[in-house]
Amino acid sequence: MQIEGLVVSSTEPAKLRKLGEYVTTTPEVYGVDFMWAVVDQTWGIQRKEIADLVSSLTDGRLGMEIQQLQRLAHPILIIEGDPQWTTDGVLMAQYGAEFTQKRFTSLKATMQMVYGAHVFTTKDIRSTATTIEHLVEWSRKEGHDSLVRRPKLKSEWGTADASDFRCWMLQSVPGVGPKVAQAVDTALAGSPYAMRVTEKELLAIPGVGPKATAAIMRAVTPTKKKRRIRK
């Protein structure tokens, strides 16, 4: 899968070069292997296999790359590999220098908290490619509010109706549980949520479209009880 606007370093493996729309040496100038832009901000990813990470710490390359990364709005470090540690916390595979689990943790903390580079770990080159795709897609989203959204309401019997939504909303009041909410909604026919607002006024609010307007009006409008016709 080729990612639109992604620039990949020509030194990367063929599997990862295929991700890029452009393959050049430009990313290396910024200390990264992958670059892309979102509006006026530049994102960049430095990929380090475990062996390369250890050697770059030894020869000082990582320090130089950290300085280059500072020119990016959003620097990212991907550490690729599945390191195995001894019971003493030492990396089993030796790459010319002893590397401990403690140092590995410290490195990730320093990159994130001191130099502002987000750190991700991947198992292999395939998962690295997937992570890059997801990061580029995420960076291009207009908003990131999924974590603060309320979970979707589910009715005990299937699709939630207007009463379910009103009770759900009423429970946001401290001290009001599901039983109290249901009792209030039933007794007052939803009147706690009756709003003096029209669809036209809702549609005039920036960001509120026809679908949202219809949903709000359904949720806050009291349900009309059908009159029984006596025979």
- Residue 65 near residue 56, CB atoms below 8 Å: yes
Model confidence pLDDT, tens digit, residues 104-143: 999 999 999 999 999 999 999 999 999 999 999 999 998 7
Give the pLDDT band (50/70/90) at residue 65.
very high
Instruction: Name all domains of the chain by residue range, CATH numbers in brackets.
Output: 3-144 (3.40.50.10130), 152-220 (no CATH)
Quote the pTM value: 0.72
Residue 49's CB is within 10 A of a number of other CB atoms, namely 17
Model confidence pLDDT, tens digit, residues 205-214: 787 788 877 8
- Residue 62 near residue 117, CB atoms below 8 Å: no
The SS3 of residue 41 is strand
Model confidence pLDDT, tens digit, residues 14-53: 999 999 999 999 999 999 999 999 998 999 999 999 999 9
Residue 162 CA to residue 219 CA, distance in Å, equals 5
47, containing H or E segment: strand 41-49
Q: Mean pLDDT check: name the lowest of 23-32, 177-186, 189-198.
A: 189-198
The answer, yes or no, to whether residue 170 has pLDDT greater than 90, is: no
Model confidence pLDDT, tens digit, residues 140-158: 998 777 776 666 666 655 6
